[in-house]
Structure 1
């Protein structure tokens, strides 16, 4: 099936072991509950070969350790080289486990071994010990013991990782694997000590058994750390996965956009450089044993999130999650600060109290997602970000701090919550001009930093006269607020959304409550100071009338957007705020704009 167009093909529940999908187009293909990887017969053959190699390596490894005892107790060789070898091995293992990369550690230890050996050669030895042949044999024996020890050690680690990578449900079969491995290792040790039986056999046996068995816990430790993704030992795991994926199912360079691998068995499968945009991995098994270079699956945290769908209270700050499928995921209290979520799907996801500050959501699908209590400071959205059916009672426009435990809640009135559809209307970009959206080098988050916004909603239509008077009364009562109406948008006379600019330190909740109180009193005729107010602002009557007329004209349209006092001019990627002389610009219907570019 290599290089084929298999768009929409249904492979669900099929056995796809060793099938080659390289370079194929598999858009929206169904791989639910498929089984991929290596065939059982080939897998059994490889396991048998691994145990044979394990026996041979243990034999060589044990024999190397036996020679150390030979050097220590032989009258014909120089024991100092045995101690040099032991010391170099101990230093290498300690550094290897505690800190350094294995290859760098090995190089360092060879230098240490060589330095110690030179020092021994320079020590004046007794005449009985000075023998050129013995000296050469001792040095060569020590060197080959050292190289043999770490060669055997590395192969033992690799075999242990191979067994776990290739065996399905390894942990269920672990007792059997451990028993077979133990028998194989003991057989190798026994065989190594039956070679060249001589008078030093007892000392050599002790050295062989002790050094070999004491090395096995270190082998197991390194194996577990490698499988857990420890970068120091990751090349062991990478090597095993690459070899196994070469004989398993391959999707290398395939286009798997919107494909579904729910519940699939994916061990020993090759996804290298595949297009995995919005691919579903929910409950996929053994994905950590697949080859995934060049995809977002390389990151273990992302892989776990996609498989389990559970990101509750986890930190994903700064991660590249572009194109990830997080449909219906539980992301309650998760942090996505500065994360890249463009082109991802968060449809139906629970983002309650999630931190989305400075997150990129260009073209992201948030349909039916829950955003109640989310922190959306300077998040980057575009016209193709989907907000249909959003469930949201309130959001925060800033991250919470000790100094500000109430980080710009919306709606501003803390006694109110968003009604159905309010959030979609509210989140329409604050500065809504065609020039801004058509400019491809402006980051809306930077534009938004110039504004502190007060949002006011009318859900059952609006009385233009009462609204105009209530706004003017609010401006006069709180001149320090810097209140200026920025935009009006809505659908006929059903629901109206005002956005006004205010100063940073103003109590927006108080302003919202006062506006609602004044507006409702004016409408009901109970505003006691109405006549006095109108008489006192006679010189402002023209401004109130203009605002009233603007509203009356706007609400006669089926859908409208009006910029009242401010506009934004774009020139070669820069933006600046300018006043407009009249009441503003008017836009009827839906405009089609280009989306802003994704921020690097």
Structure 2
């Protein structure tokens, strides 16, 4: 929640806010989850402001300074931010749909799982931006984007291109082409049973959606990327979210089943160990009788009866054991 004092200062107007910011440069204002909409805030100083979870809808922020602001899960839908400075901002899971960022500066910003459907980035500077799992569509405008390179993963990993810079216009061309795929990233391997369940569920829910696994790539550190081809007009963000929800549900369910099987297996092993110990006891008894016979043949009576009982017990134990283990052991002398 927003700091009440900071919110009260903000509500006094742009000039008052900007003057307070100049007089208190060490304070990092907290306007998280604030509702800031339907007004022209052009020129306001939002640098280093915590606007996480805030709703900045249908507002104008032309030439506004957002540098190093925290904008995770911020909703900018239908807002205008032409010429805004968003360098080094944290825009993770932010909603930029139908917003106008013409000529804005996003250098080295984090745009992880950011939605930018029908968004205008014309002439914006996207050099050094982390675009892991970002979502754009065919109406996202990338004309004239200035971009030397981007990162596919956080902490400046997976630089693209790996060396050198994009040629002019190359970034827009490459990423407009990638609009027909959804990238599914798995960091701890893939449970293929859960994957199959979720993918089939997605196909059923998106009949005629042209879903197809295009490629599977190893990215190092145990990370796997599955690229799924989708229809050009598909809602990639919805497909991604629906798949991951189905996958996580299936993975948890299967994990419970695996655990139950392991517990059953442990019980079987305990029973098997008991039967094996019983076999050893019978063999030892038989050995003791045979030894007694060898040492004192006249003192042991009913020898045939004793040996017959021991042999019968041994066969019964083996038959029980074979049934539990699934073997096929028979008494050929029967």
Give the TM-score taking structure 2 as reference length: 0.44
More helix by share: 1
| Greater length-normalized contact order (CA 8 Å, ≥ 6 residues apart) | 1
Give the TM-score taking structure 1 as reference length: 0.26
